[in-house]
Amino acid sequence: MNKKEFFALFREELSGLPKDDLEERVSFYEEIINDKMDEGKTEEQAVAELGSVESIVEQIASETSIMKLVKEKYKLKRALRGWEIALLIAGFPLWLPLAITFFVLVFVFYVLTWLLSIIAASIEVALISASVAGLISFFALLFTGSFELAPLGVFLACTGASILFAFVCYYAVILNIKLSKGLFLGIKKSFMKRREK
Amino acid sequence: MDAQLRRGLLDVCVLRAIKNEDSYGYKIIKDLKPVVELSESTLYTILKRLEEAKMLVVRSVEFEGRLRKYYHITNLGHQRIEDFMQEWKELMKVYNFIAEDK
């Protein structure tokens, strides 16, 4: 990849960043490429040493707060006109419920990504309850004078299963955290890339 | 290495690289290479952070028909290095105590 191709891709992937921020980054990398070429490296070589645009984008995404990206994306290009403000106020009963619905939906989808952990945790809670119930029944029956093995069996089996299942829970949560992080990174990356026009 | 610790160390490394004379991006990376491997994007973030913290100032200098940004350390930057040395003197005491144990 030469300089031109590198920066064309770079600008495209990061077109959602504030303009001066983007230009500053471009000139920073450009200076380093030039310095490397002055040292005798070829253009291709100097560009290759920077790593892929993708990895740079990923790093910027992980360092930039999502609020900053959202703000930049929905920044108004000009002041609102009088009639636009009037429309905004008049349409209030319409857009407010829509906005609330939108945010609730986003929230629900996010919670859904945690489904795996929620199910695992529920099963774990059920197993622990069953094991406690088994133990209590065993002693309760013992006090009434009957020695029953079944509740004891339930207690032992559920205790064992709950210990094993605790590991499943642990890995489900780890998996979910990873998923969550990836999701956020993806959302940020999409924000950094301007899609309109 | 712990990410938080690494970040703090890198900040001071970069300050050290411009402590005695002003330097520019590529030179900082090369100067630090024997001590720590620093990617260009990481350096950018560090320089930005140090500039915002007013520990360095940037000026553009014409060089062979193009502009090159030079980074100049401020008093706050010098102070940061001093603080770092002090902190680590304390830490080294702890380190030695731990290392002594056989």
CB A27 within 8 A of CB A16: no
Model confidence pLDDT, tens digit, residues A169-187: 999 999 989 888 888 888 8
For range A76-86, the mean pLDDT: 79
pLDDT of A197 > 50? The answer is no
Write out the two tokens for B51.
């500039």
The end-to-end CA distance of chain A, in Å, is 26
Model confidence pLDDT, tens digit, residues B47-99: 999 999 999 999 988 888 888 999 999 999 999 999 999 999 999 999 999 99
Count CB-CB contacts under 10 A for residue A25.
20
For range A32-51, the mean pLDDT: 89
Given pLDDT bands bounded at 50, 70 and 90, which one contains residue A128? very high
Half-sphere exposure of residue A109: CA atoms within 13 angstroms, side-chain side = 8
Of A157, A161, A154, give the one whose Cα is nearest residue A124. A161
Q: How does DSSP classify residue A17? A: S
Euclidean distance between CA atoms B6 and B28, whole angstroms: 17
Predicted local distance difference test score (pLDDT) of residue A162: 94
pLDDT of A87 > 60? The answer is yes
Tell me the chain B residues in contact with residue A51 when contact means C-beta distances shorter than 8 Å. Answer: 39-41
Tell me the chain A residues in contact with residue B45 when contact means C-beta distances shorter than 8 Å. Answer: 59, 63
Predicted local distance difference test score (pLDDT) of residue B71: 94
Model confidence pLDDT, tens digit, residues B2-52: 778 888 899 999 999 999 999 998 999 999 989 888 888 889 999 999 999
Predicted local distance difference test score (pLDDT) of residue A196: 52
Of A163, A196, A169, give the one whose Cα is nearest residue A77. A196
pTM score: 0.67
All domains of chain B, ordered by start, with CATH?
Answer: 3-100 (1.10.10.10)
Residue A35 sits at the chain B interface (C-beta within 8 Å): yes
Predicted local distance difference test score (pLDDT) of residue B56: 93
Q: What is the ipTM of this complex?
A: 0.85
| Alpha-carbon distance A114 to nearest alpha carbon in chain B (angstroms) | 26
| Alpha-carbon distance B20 to nearest alpha carbon in chain A (angstroms) | 21
Predicted local distance difference test score (pLDDT) of residue A195: 60
For residue A52, what is the nearest residue in chain B, using CA coordinates? Answer: B41
Surface-to-core class of residue A70, CB atoms within 10 Å of its CB (0-12 exposed, 13-18 middle, 19+ buried): middle
Of B3 and A37, the structure prediction assigns the larger pLDDT to A37
User: What is the residue-wise DSSP string for A36-96?
Assistant: HHHTT--HHHHHHTT--HHHHHHHHHHHS-HHHHHHHHT--SSPPPHHHHHHHHHTHHHHH
Predicted local distance difference test score (pLDDT) of residue A50: 87
pLDDT of A155 > 90? The answer is yes
Predicted local distance difference test score (pLDDT) of residue A71: 75
| Alpha-carbon distance B74 to nearest alpha carbon in chain A (angstroms) | 21
